[in-house]
Amino acid sequence: MAKYINKAIICEAYIHLEIDESFSPEKINKIKIDLKNFFDARVKFLLGENIQTEIETETGSLKVKLKAFAGIATLLGGAVMSYPSFRDAVKVLHEDSKLLAEATNLETIFVTKTPSCDRLHSEARTGLIGRISKLITNVESLRDQVNNLPAPSKKSDLNKISETTLIVIRLTNESEKLLSKINTDEDRFCIAKGIHSVFNQLPEIIPAEGDYRSSPLKKSVLKAQNLDIQAEAEFQKYTASVRSVKDVLKKIGIATMPKKA
């Protein structure tokens, strides 16, 4: 594993099969060679050239793991050239990684001729690309939620704004945690820059705030309920949280920006 220390897992096929005594060490070794060749050819086609792979097996019952490793900056850099944005590049790579892992598990079942009753467990894992893709999906969902918040006229409307702010804070923490586990500054810079572009979709001022401020009636309704001060506080907390995550990602990006030769 030492040779992969500066690379991230971007695809992993895992399957656990029940096998009988006909699976000799020689037969298992032949299966490993066939699966590695199958995996390597499709990694090259779906994910790119500069990717390392490995296969692991455990005997008794048969456990097979095939993994693909890559430097994220190199992987995403090539993909972004083919797609209009960081978001689109990540989504396509995630879909292809999952497709590859599922196809490899299916190929393992095929080459071992394992009936359904002996297929104990399988997983199609997408590694770091999957985690980035999930974060993007969550930010985009939050963006839609923010844009659909109603101008506040009652306590429950203010609660929705507060809940939205908490989601921003949670996604900020998730972003920092993800970036803290990246092995190289080059990869960290690439991902921080890309995630920053995704968070830029979040408006710093909730559209509902503009609707509220332009409506004397809505302002008077909240004031009559003694909620006008809380409304101002919730607007400010949301804005501060969005500006904070953008600032955090920008600082991480600057701190890890590759030095020019």
Output the pTM of the full model.
0.90
Closest among 83, 36, 177 to 75, alpha carbons compared: 83
2-125 has which CATH code?
3.30.300
How far, CA to CA in Å, does 143 sit from each of 50, 121, 177, 191, 261?
35, 36, 21, 20, 39
Above pLDDT 70, what percent of the chain? 96
pLDDT tens per residue, the chain (261 residues)? 334 447 899 999 999 999 998 899 999 999 999 999 999 999 999 998 889 999 999 877 899 999 999 988 888 877 766 777 899 999 999 999 999 999 999 999 999 999 999 999 999 999 999 999 999 999 999 999 999 999 999 999 999 999 999 999 999 999 999 999 888 888 999 999 999 999 999 999 999 999 999 999 999 999 999 999 999 999 999 999 999 999 999 999 887 777 665
Non-local CB neighbours of 34 within 8 Å, separated by 6+ positions: 111
Sign of CA dihedral 19, 96, 72, 199: negative
Helices 228-255 and 185-199: crossing angle in degrees, nearest 10, is 150
Q: How many helices (H) and strands (E) does the chain have?
A: 9, 4
Residue 111 · residue 23 · CB < 8 Å: no
pLDDT digits (tens, 9 = 90+) for 136-168: 999 999 999 999 999 999 999 999 999 999 999
**Residue position matching structure tokens 């501060």:** 240
Is residue 86 packed enough to be buried (19+ CB in 10 Å), middle (13-18) or exposed (0-12)? buried
- Residues near 208 by beta carbon (within 8 Å), at least 6 away in sequence: 149, 150, 151, 152, 157, 161
